[in-house]
Structure 1
Amino acid sequence: MQLGPTELIIILVIVLLLFGVGRVSKIGGELGSAVANFRRGLDEGGKKDAKKTDDLSGTQQTPPVQ
């Protein structure tokens, strides 16, 4: 079941009536902040993994001692 534009507008009006404009904008700001922090964490995690991979590949290239 897909929601059309009319249904979305009705839902938005009901949410605004229940919570008020100030509360809805505060929740939106917090949600945006959370998404930004999540993406930043993913980027940092990827960089750390790449660094670990580079470190490991450097140790594998050393010839064995006989």
Structure 2
Amino acid sequence: MLRNGLEPWHLLLVGLVVILVFGSKKLPDTARALGKSMRILKSEAKAMKEEGAPAAPAEPPAPAD
């Protein structure tokens, strides 16, 4: 049924439907909001990854002479 998967004309059709549904005036605002959300998600995921990683072991103090 979907032997060839996603072809270029499928993407063109999806893009056309998106433009018809949302209108060309709202698309830049929607894309800007999506980009901002993706940046926030990426920074939060990075923070969670750093939080879950074990801290680097501290160096033992040098012996006093």
Give the TM-score band, short-chain normalised: 0.5 to 0.7
Total equivalences in the alignment: 56
Distance of aligned partners of 1:46 and 1:11 in 2 relative to their CA distance in 1, 3 Å threshold: closer
Which structure carries more helix by proportion?
Answer: 1
Gap regions ≥5 residues in structure 1: 62-66
CA-to-partner distance for each residue in 1:25-48, whole Å, 9 max, x for gaps?
A: 222211111111011112222333
Q: Corresponding residue for 1:5?
A: 8
Residue identity matched to 2:32: G
Q: Distance in 2 between matches of 1:48 and 1:27?
A: 31
Q: Corresponding residue for 1:40?
A: 43
Residue identity matched to 2:47: E
TM-score (norm 1): 0.60
TM-score (norm 2): 0.61
Q: Identity across aligned pairs (percent)?
A: 18
